[in-house]
Amino acid sequence: MQHQKLKQLGGVLLLSAAMSLSAQAQEKKANVVVIGTGGTIAGAGASSVNTAAYQSAVVPVDKIIAAVPEVSKIANVRGEQIFQIGSESFNDERLLKLGKRVSELLKQNDVDGIVITHGTDTIEETAYFLNLTLKSDKPVVVVGSMRPGTALGADGALNLYDAVLVAASKDAAGKGTLVVMNDEIHSGRDVTKTNSFKVETFRSPYGPLGYVVEGKLMFYRLPARPHTTQTEFDIDKINSLPRVDVVYNYGNVSRAAYDAFVTAGAKAIIHDGTGNGSVAEQIVPVLQEVRSKGVQVVRATRTGSGVVIRNGEQPDDKFDWVVTDDQNAQKARILTALALTKTNDSKELQKILWKY
């Protein structure tokens, strides 16, 4: 009798221990908000063989999440639609609106991480902007896909799953804004799109920070440059960005684009030069003129990687021009615009371009 009672009691204890364990597991699930902005990850094609010809930005974010029920096993996920656009249509206003909303969510105790579904064309600009302006250590992950969900070999579902996994993980905290695509975790600072249609398009000159493999995060390196909480830029305090334009260079380049941008009110021009930010002989006086009008001149390289050497190709000290570090022109535009919210001193601008 006594023995029977003890056995029963043991059973009850075991059952309640199991119940409290599963309650703990439930409790431990991170809360992740998925913000939808559009792009191919929200795209649909007319047939399963349309991998590159399709309509982007048509599927609502809740439907994208519902199509990957596996994510609910790793996090409590809810969707929020902020835009439904191709990322080529991102502008400064949208960037600020997105950044402010992300910042608002990050301040909530019931939000542990954020995923932003985004077109791949300008992921690198949005990710760099957030990496420089958010004031939180919580993981923020930007994700996209190269193929719409309707395509054979669609990459969006796994990319979303991996992105939620990273956003829900404490291991991803304090590493800046991340881009997760094609099994890889990249720093928002370094990553760039390098191919127009392949799924392995995202590359960082120094390699990814890590991988996501079968539900596991594997980090191998850390971002070396200051980001998020370590920068002087605060999304909550920025309400507009100064106009910064990019002029791509090539043989036979003329002054037309420089003049047009100055007339349009540019506060800085990124000279996306050949080689080491070189300046064609007919453009040297144009850039001097641009600078004499108070517009900052930033020399970048169109080569796709490498640093631009100050006073190398051109006497930057003499002309009062500045150079990029290793940022490509589109990233230099983001950083220069942010820098100009703080200073219009070319020496300070140069320090900022070298710092971030």
Contacting positions for ligand ASP (CB under 6 A): 38-40, 56, 86-88, 119-121, 144, 146
Q: For residues 119 and 273, which CB has a smaller minimum distance to ligand ASP in the complex?
A: 119
Least Å from the CB of residue 54 to ligand ASP: 10
**Strands (DSSP E) along 192-325, which ranges?**
192-193, 202-203, 210-213, 216-219, 244-248, 268-273, 296-301, 322-323
Burial 175-201 (b: 16+ CB within 10 A, else e): bbbbbbbbbbbbbbbbbbbeeeeebeb
Q: Rounded to 5, what percent of the chain is helix, strand, coil? A: 40, 20, 45
From 40, 126, 150, 324, active-site residue: 40
Residue 325, helix vs strand vs coil: coil
Q: For residues 149 and 210, which CB has a smaller minimum distance to ligand ASP in the complex?
A: 149
Q: For residues 55 and 341, which CB has a smaller minimum distance to ligand ASP in the complex?
A: 55
**Is 40 annotated in the active site?**
yes
Of 313, 243, 324, the residue nearest 284 (C-alpha) = 313
Helices (H), 283-356: 284-292, 316-319, 329-340, 346-355
Q: For residues 87 and 182, which CB has a smaller minimum distance to ligand ASP in the complex?
A: 87
Least Å from the CB of residue 326 to ligand ASP: 23
214 φψ region: left (φ > 0), alpha (ψ -120 to 50), beta (else): left
344/145 Cα distance (integer angstroms): 38
Least Å from the CB of residue 272 to ligand ASP: 20
Q: Which helix (H) or strand (E) holds 113?
A: strand 113-117
Least Å from the CB of residue 70 to ligand ASP: 22
Least Å from the CB of residue 119 to ligand ASP: 2
Least Å from the CB of residue 122 to ligand ASP: 6
- Residue with smallest beta-carbon separation from ligand ASP: 119
202/183 Cα distance (integer angstroms): 11
Question: What tokens appear for 1 in the block?
Answer: 């009798």
Q: For residues 155 and 245, which CB has a smaller minimum distance to ligand ASP in the complex?
A: 155
Q: For residues 201 and 288, which CB has a smaller minimum distance to ligand ASP in the complex?
A: 201
Burial 316-335 (b: 16+ CB within 10 A, else e): beebebbbbbbbbbbbbbbb
Residue 90, helix vs strand vs coil: coil
Indicate which residues carry an active-site annotation.
40
